[in-house]
């Protein structure tokens, strides 16, 4: 098995154990454990170790970290006794590119029966035929992968690294202990086999030898929040999407407008054609292209006076 040793691992484990201290690891505390881990992942102390640890992993795997990107924050895993974890899969199935590697870091109780299985010799890949993908094979694979030899049991100060085509999963926790771990992915930026949105990844900056959030095209810009009500268009969700999008990419919402929805899209049409609101803004952000899909369908060749962005798809529409 490909175990990776680093002195950062014990630092991370110590930090996260401190956060989880005094929380009984029972199913009834599931949300509390999860929110505590997310809080820890957002702390500057964790992020700084996480980012430098990722540089070590990328250097080990690719030779250097140039042209690679890193998951913004890791994914926590909480595996309760007698429960099923994640079904057998490869990360490639879920959109990660062929260059992607996953780093799995044990935190608590990564012991036999509570850890996960990895087909590290890639014997079971023969069952998977992309032209004839059959979910029924998963049961067979799940049985065959669950053998001692495939158990991931990293020695102290070690994490487990695996590529995106390796089948793995947590079939059943047969112990009376709750396992806590986290994992994250690093990938080549130019990986055309990936379906992931790289604006949601940290990009390696070789000038400072660190991963950092790339500047969004609208970074620091003033924006108009555009909301459109109507059937199947939840305005509450639209507000959340645009607010979070703006916060994440450091956009300032200086104005907002709601559509006069009974007459098609007069506001959106006006804004695109130069109609100005009170405050200054450099772009208009709407929750999703879907919000005005019929309008955009009819204006494919139309040019806008001002950039129109959708938060959900994270792309410029016009
Ligand atoms: Fe996975």
Tell how far the Cα of 99 is from the centroid of ligand 1, in angstroms. Answer: 14
What end-to-end distance do the CA atoms of the chain give, in Å?
Answer: 49
Tell how far the Cα of 293 is from the centroid of ligand 1, in angstroms. Answer: 34
Comparing C-alpha atoms, which of 120, 309, 139 is closest to residue 226?
309
Assess contact for 202 and 213: CB atoms under 8 A. Answer: yes
Tell how far the Cα of 55 is from the centroid of ligand 1, in angstroms. Answer: 21
What is the Cα–Cα distance from 216 to 191, expressed in whole angstroms?
20
Tell how far the Cα of 86 is from the centroid of ligand 1, in angstroms. Answer: 8
Tell how far the Cα of 36 is from the centroid of ligand 1, in angstroms. Answer: 22
Tell how far the Cα of 180 is from the centroid of ligand 1, in angstroms. Answer: 15
Tell how far the Cα of 167 is from the centroid of ligand 1, in angstroms. Answer: 8
What is the Cα–Cα distance from 169 to 180, expressed in whole angstroms?
14
Maximum CA extent, the chain: 67
The CATH number for 3-212, chosen from 2.60.120, 1.20.120, 3.30.70, 3.20.20, is 2.60.120
Q: What is the pLDDT of residues 37-94, one digit of tens each?
A: 999 999 999 999 999 999 999 999 999 999 999 999 999 999 999 998 888 999 999 9
DSSP 284: E
Please give the helix or strand (H or E) that residue 224 lies within, else none.
Answer: strand 222-227
**Mean pLDDT in the chain?**
93
- Intrachain domains 3-212 and 222-316 with the same fold: no
Assess contact for 117 and 168: CB atoms under 8 A. Answer: yes
Residue 231 to residues 87, 261, 290, 292, Cα–Cα distance (Å):
37, 10, 12, 12
Radius of gyration of the chain (CA): 23
The pLDDT score that the predictor gives to residue 85 is: 85
Tell how far the Cα of 101 is from the centroid of ligand 1, in angstroms. Answer: 10
Tell how far the Cα of 206 is from the centroid of ligand 1, in angstroms. Answer: 28
Assess contact for 37 and 13: CB atoms under 8 A. Answer: no
Tell how far the Cα of 122 is from the centroid of ligand 1, in angstroms. Answer: 15
| Residues in the 5 Å CB sphere of ion ligand 1 | 91
Tell how far the Cα of 302 is from the centroid of ligand 1, in angstroms. Answer: 42
- pLDDT bin (cut points 50, 70, 90) of residue 19 is very high
Q: What is the pLDDT of residues 250-274, one digit of tens each?
A: 999 999 999 999 999 999 999 998 8
Q: What is the pLDDT of residues 96-119, one digit of tens each?
A: 999 999 999 999 999 999 999 999
Tell how far the Cα of 170 is from the centroid of ligand 1, in angstroms. Answer: 10
What is the Cα–Cα distance from 163 to 103, expressed in whole angstroms?
9
Assess contact for 147 and 59: CB atoms under 8 A. Answer: no
Q: Which two tokens stand for residue 241?
A: 């999407």
Residue 138 to residues 11, 74, 121, 273, Cα–Cα distance (Å):
37, 26, 18, 54
Comparing C-alpha atoms, which of 226, 234, 231 is closest to residue 266?
226
User: What are the residue boundaries of the structural domains of the chain, listed by start?
Assistant: 3-212, 222-316
Tell how far the Cα of 187 is from the centroid of ligand 1, in angstroms. Answer: 14
Tell how far the Cα of 90 is from the centroid of ligand 1, in angstroms. Answer: 6
Tell how far the Cα of 89 is from the centroid of ligand 1, in angstroms. Answer: 6
The pLDDT score that the predictor gives to residue 65 is: 97
Assign domain 222-316 to its CATH superfamily. Answer: Resolvase, N-terminal catalytic domain (3.40.50.1390)
What is the Cα–Cα distance from 117 to 212, expressed in whole angstroms?
32
Torsion angle, CA of 229/231/232/236, rounded to 10 degrees? 30
Q: What is the pLDDT of residues 190-228, one digit of tens each?
A: 899 998 887 779 999 999 999 998 889 999 999 999 999
Tell how far the Cα of 118 is from the centroid of ligand 1, in angstroms. Answer: 10
Q: What is the pLDDT of residues 162-185, one digit of tens each?
A: 999 999 998 899 999 999 999 999
- pLDDT bin (cut points 50, 70, 90) of residue 129 is low
Comparing C-alpha atoms, which of 227, 228, 201, 234 is closest to residue 216?
201
Assess contact for 142 and 88: CB atoms under 8 A. Answer: yes
The pLDDT score that the predictor gives to residue 232 is: 93
Tell how far the Cα of 169 is from the centroid of ligand 1, in angstroms. Answer: 7
Higher pLDDT among residues 25 and 215, named by residue: 25
Tell how far the Cα of 168 is from the centroid of ligand 1, in angstroms. Answer: 7
The pLDDT score that the predictor gives to residue 130 is: 67
Tell how far the Cα of 91 is from the centroid of ligand 1, in angstroms. Answer: 5
């Amino acid at each position: 098995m490909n175990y990776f040793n680093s002195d950062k691992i014990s630092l991370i484990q110590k930090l996260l154990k401190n956060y989880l201290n005094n929380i009984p690891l029972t199913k009834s505390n599931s949300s509390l454990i999860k929110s505590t881990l997310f809080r820890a992942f957002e702390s500057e102390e964790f992020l700084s170790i996480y980012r430098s640890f990722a540089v070590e992993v990328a250097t080990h795997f690719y030779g250097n970290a140039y042209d690679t990107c890193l998951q913004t924050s890791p994914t926590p895993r909480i595996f309760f006794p007698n429960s099923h974890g994640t079904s057998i899969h490869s990360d490639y199935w879920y959109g990660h590119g062929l260059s992607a590697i996953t780093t799995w870091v044990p935190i608590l109780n990564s012991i036999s029966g509570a850890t996960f299985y990895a087909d590290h010799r890639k014997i079971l890949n023969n069952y998977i035929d992309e032209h004839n993908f059959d979910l029924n094979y998963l049961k067979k694979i799940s049985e065959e992968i669950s053998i001692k030899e495939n158990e991931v049991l990293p020695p102290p100060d070690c994490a487990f690294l695996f590529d995106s085509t390796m089948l793995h999963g947590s079939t059943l926790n047969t112990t009376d202990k709750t396992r806590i771990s986290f994992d994250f992915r690093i990938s080549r930026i130019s990986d055309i086999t990936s379906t992931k949105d790289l604006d949601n990844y940290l990009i390696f900056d070789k000038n400072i030898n660190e991963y950092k959030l790339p500047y969004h095209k609208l970074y620091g810009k003033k924006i108009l929040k555009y909301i459109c009500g109507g059937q199947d268009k939840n305005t509450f969700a639209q507000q959340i999407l645009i607010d979070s999008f703006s916060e994440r990419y450091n956009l300032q919402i200086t104005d907002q407008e709601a559509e006069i929805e009974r007459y098609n899209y007069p506001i959106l049409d006006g804004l695109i054609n130069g109609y100005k609101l009170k405050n200054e803004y450099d772009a208009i952000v709407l929750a999703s292209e879907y919000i005005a899909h019929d309008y955009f369908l009819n204006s494919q060749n139309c040019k806008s006076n001002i950039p129109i962005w959708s938060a959900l798809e994270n792309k410029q529409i016009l």
